[in-house]
Structure 1
């Protein structure tokens, strides 16, 4: 099997070509030494130069192999005009006036990866300061030298980062870069070898909002998409993240997801398209019916243009536990799931983990009528509600049970801080559901001590912190693998 369709079918089997690792981003136990030399000083200037810009690699589609380097994560490398020996990376159509990578206004991308195989004991990464802070992270043999990205000086000079090894050997090298990085190439010893890495996995387009851009992460190269595909062992993807957008939400001149298909998705003929649900949609007040209709339109548009595509839509993520998550968010989740599956797409749930197979969820009847914001109420039942479990009311509102008192019904239930999002009537039923990955009401810099949101949510209480990016990516990577085996 050599064509992409056949390869994708093989990936859908129970024994895929590249089985997912589902390992967190890891740091090398004995990393190579990485140190930046002084500006405009190249410790290997008498060696061999492997240029970023050549007749083979100055422009082209995603992840094609040009000269010694393989590019992933961005639509195309583009030759920079001021520094003709440098590349920046172009990706999605933004429609705004922001100038990223010294490229044309209106173009932006989130991050890219430069990959190659290297044999030797020392090489220098060459780059140019772009006037705007650029960052990069280095991976050797699929492990990070450091999870903290390196900040490149902003002055318009050449800079060289020296990478040394204890002894000459073959290594797989990845340089994960952000939108301001200007790549000039590498210098090696005169007899060292460099060759491009093979492309891994099916071609995937990952569409999203500021979460996908990397807001809250250490830098765009450690955001959800990069972590998703590290977990899967793939690198054949493009990330289209535009802040303020969603399935229906727009921001300024930026377009909603479906309206970006013509520029960001269809030209690259992906095998898989992932659309990550957005907090911008409930914030925009869109109704569940509007969300349902848009999901149907998304799946139909993708299948019409790309008959063999695997379309995946996820729920949005959360910033609080189930009690603090708005009722509209839960209604959106249900509408998106139902419409996506009905249209022939696949759904990955970020808000609710599945209950164990054959498990019978507990149900309880309200004996009081708690209002909005109430955090304690009474219920009947043959057994008390399960402490630590999530329950759903008839209107889709959720709550997390923190404690239960009473030796027999009626039981007094105290729920997660924040209280109910909607009022409930006496006689209403609450039913145990799968757990929400988020709990508590806190965030980084303003911890509440009542759940994992203290570490998963960034200080702005909107975007995930780096730990949140990692967790979301883990769920989505597992979901993609399950989808491919079921598709």
Structure 2
């Protein structure tokens, strides 16, 4: 990510081993700081190094903040290095990276150190993770890249002694002895040493009875990308982070309303809290007096920063959405925290009628739709006061739309603590069907995505849609592929939904196909452990034009080519990563819909707004159920 001028940085570089058998270099490196880093001097928050892809030579280079950088808080943080070269064992370890500003540090200079909590390295992980650290503790002096190379095994590139090596020392019969004692296909004479006579021997010059070929080096063919890969997907194994139906929440409760005492909520145009209340500020906001940085869990966004001038220096907004600026970045995001207070106050800046929020208590939303913030004067600070009726330990969530956040104030004696997010990070890369439009309430926080995230059990839901965009159509922003380097890849989602195509459908199908193929390939390479789903072209009527059905078919073809499951809104068909049909749920939209005051037919009459394209609040509820059902159909039990 780009750093503000003056931020101390070093460049970490290195080269990882190639795949077994000398296969092509590929893979990624994931770098994660043990905590969110705060630079009070530059009013910045750094989310971390993110995911870096190896180049064609197995090399990488990434700019990072060194652990001993002046002015970066908190103290004692460490880097988590997750090396994932394809075809070689994965290795994870904690380390400290030191160096003067502008220095270059090589990967082989790093040694594992205890995890930030004091435990001796990674306690759980794949083979090669904690094993490397243990080896160093026991006297291993090799570099981390030498350790990775050692995980290939003694077989070497040709697999001479590897478990699958065809030329290994299997016995006295020699390299071709695997064909059995008859020697019919070995280097012996045609009848073989144990041949039983002409009655069972085949003697022919007919080329159809011969199969001369050069033996394949199995280690190479079995690696990812080879002709016969032994990968989890290829052999039907499941990744450790795979979504399963059994892990999903009860749908009757996941999207239900809070059943406790209704909170009393009021808004006042002031930045002065109730007398005696203590301020818990978001990281990056300057502290004074008794202020402290709150243990907030940010969800749905990253790269939080304060504004450059007053009053924005008192409020944070995320920069993790194109065009990645304070004023025009991500408008939809959330915070969660635990508190035992009866009353708390939320400081925010009022922007316009688009400034909205939704409160959830103990995992249940207090209101179904986003609520008006109650602000009055644009550009001014406000306090939102929430009285829960009693003091008790609770989990609080606030979803924000266009609402710069300045902190939480608690009464004396009340406390606040951090709560974990649940269900992994779910993101959508999309257009206005995900980002919201005039036909629904609360922009992207009121679309199908927020509801589907709750139904799928993900509290960290990143709505990365931009209206008017697509695979080949930039709209007022940028095409999908030009957005992912800053909006998606650095934040390593566990699950990613890609939904676009409507804004492209009147363009060239070959151009759409090429753009989709490139996008899917880049995402698969950069996010190898991410579960992805492609949703086809949106159709706001039950009788879509040919250009819409053609775009849907084009996207389905490209998704199957790279092994991403595909869901068609037009037919309701669900295809797995191999392109095989798994289920057909029927068209999402039926009938003609309505335009203006003209009543249409089918569910389009209530699901589609008067512009004839975008869903209503009712429509987004319906879409969330359809999309959840489709994804569930593609999950293992």
Partners of 1:338 and 1:456 lie apart in 2 by: 28
- 2:406 matches 1:184: yes
- Specify which of 429, 438, 448 is matched with residue 224 of structure 1: 448
Structure 1 456/145 Cα, relative in aligned 2: closer, same or farther at 3 Å?
same
Higher RCO, 1 vs 2 (CA within 8 Å, ≥6 residues apart): 1
After superposition, the C-alpha distances for 1:16-53 in whole angstroms (9 at most, x for unaligned) are 3x546376743334553333243227563312222224
- Specify which of 229, 235, 238 is matched with residue 462 of structure 2: 238
Secondary structure of the equivalent of 1:436? coil
After superposition, the C-alpha distances for 1:82-116 in whole angstroms (9 at most, x for unaligned) are 13222122222238xxx7xxx26xx4224001111
- 2:566 matches 1:335: no
- 2:361 matches 1:137: no
Structure 1 242/53 Cα, relative in aligned 2: closer, same or farther at 3 Å?
same
- Specify which of 392, 397, 404 is matched with residue 169 of structure 1: 392
- 2:323 matches 1:94: yes
Which residue is 2:296 aligned to? 69
Q: How many residues align?
A: 386
Partners of 1:315 and 1:192 lie apart in 2 by: 49
**Greater CA drift, 194-203 or 473-482:** 473-482
Which residue is 1:157 aligned to? 380
Which residue is 1:128 aligned to? 349
- Counterpart contact for 1:32–1:163, Cα < 8 Å: no
Which residue is 2:306 aligned to? 79
Secondary structure of the equivalent of 2:343? strand
Which residue is 1:429 aligned to? none
Alpha-carbon deviation of 1:463?
1.0
Partners of 1:274 and 1:128 lie apart in 2 by: 32
Partners of 1:34 and 1:309 lie apart in 2 by: 41
Partners of 2:370 and 2:317 lie apart in 1 by: 22
Partners of 1:310 and 1:328 lie apart in 2 by: 29
Structure 1 37/241 Cα, relative in aligned 2: closer, same or farther at 3 Å?
closer
Alpha-carbon deviation of 1:460?
1.2
Alpha-carbon deviation of 1:69?
0.8
Which residue is 2:268 aligned to? 38
Which residue is 2:516 aligned to? 295
- Specify which of 221, 239, 243 is matched with residue 12 of structure 1: 243
Alpha-carbon deviation of 1:314?
0.5
List runs of 5+ in structure 1 lacking aligned partners: 58-65, 356-432
Structure 1 55/163 Cα, relative in aligned 2: closer, same or farther at 3 Å?
closer
- 1 or 2, which has the higher strand percentage? 1
- 2:359 matches 1:208: no
Which residue is 1:365 aligned to? none
Alpha-carbon deviation of 1:248?
2.1
- Counterpart contact for 2:426–2:461, Cα < 8 Å: yes
- Specify which of 602, 620, 626 is matched with residue 451 of structure 1: 602
Structure 1 190/345 Cα, relative in aligned 2: closer, same or farther at 3 Å?
same
Partners of 2:449 and 2:389 lie apart in 1 by: 32
Partners of 2:479 and 2:267 lie apart in 1 by: 44
Alpha-carbon deviation of 1:10?
4.5
Which residue is 2:616 aligned to? 465
Which residue is 2:96 aligned to? none
Structure 1 308/327 Cα, relative in aligned 2: closer, same or farther at 3 Å?
same
After superposition, the C-alpha distances for 1:148-182 in whole angstroms (9 at most, x for unaligned) are 4123334333322221123222222111111x311
- 2:501 matches 1:274: no
- Counterpart contact for 1:112–1:176, Cα < 8 Å: yes
Secondary structure of the equivalent of 2:264? strand
Larger radius of gyration: 2
Alpha-carbon deviation of 1:444?
7.5
Secondary structure of the equivalent of 2:478? coil
TM-score computed with the length of structure 2 as normaliser: 0.55
After superposition, the C-alpha distances for 1:361-411 in whole angstroms (9 at most, x for unaligned) are xxxxxxxxxxxxxxxxxxxxxxxxxxxxxxxxxxxxxxxxxxxxxxxxxxx
TM-score computed with the length of structure 1 as normaliser: 0.71
Secondary structure of the equivalent of 2:599? coil
- 2:541 matches 1:320: yes
Partners of 1:21 and 1:290 lie apart in 2 by: 40
Alpha-carbon deviation of 1:224?
2.7
Which residue is 1:430 aligned to? none
List runs of 5+ in structure 2 lacking aligned partners: 1-122, 130-237, 288-292, 575-583
- Counterpart contact for 2:426–2:453, Cα < 8 Å: no
Partners of 1:4 and 1:77 lie apart in 2 by: 32
Which residue is 1:480 aligned to? 631
- Counterpart contact for 2:338–2:418, Cα < 8 Å: yes
Alpha-carbon deviation of 1:304?
2.2
Which residue is 1:424 aligned to? none
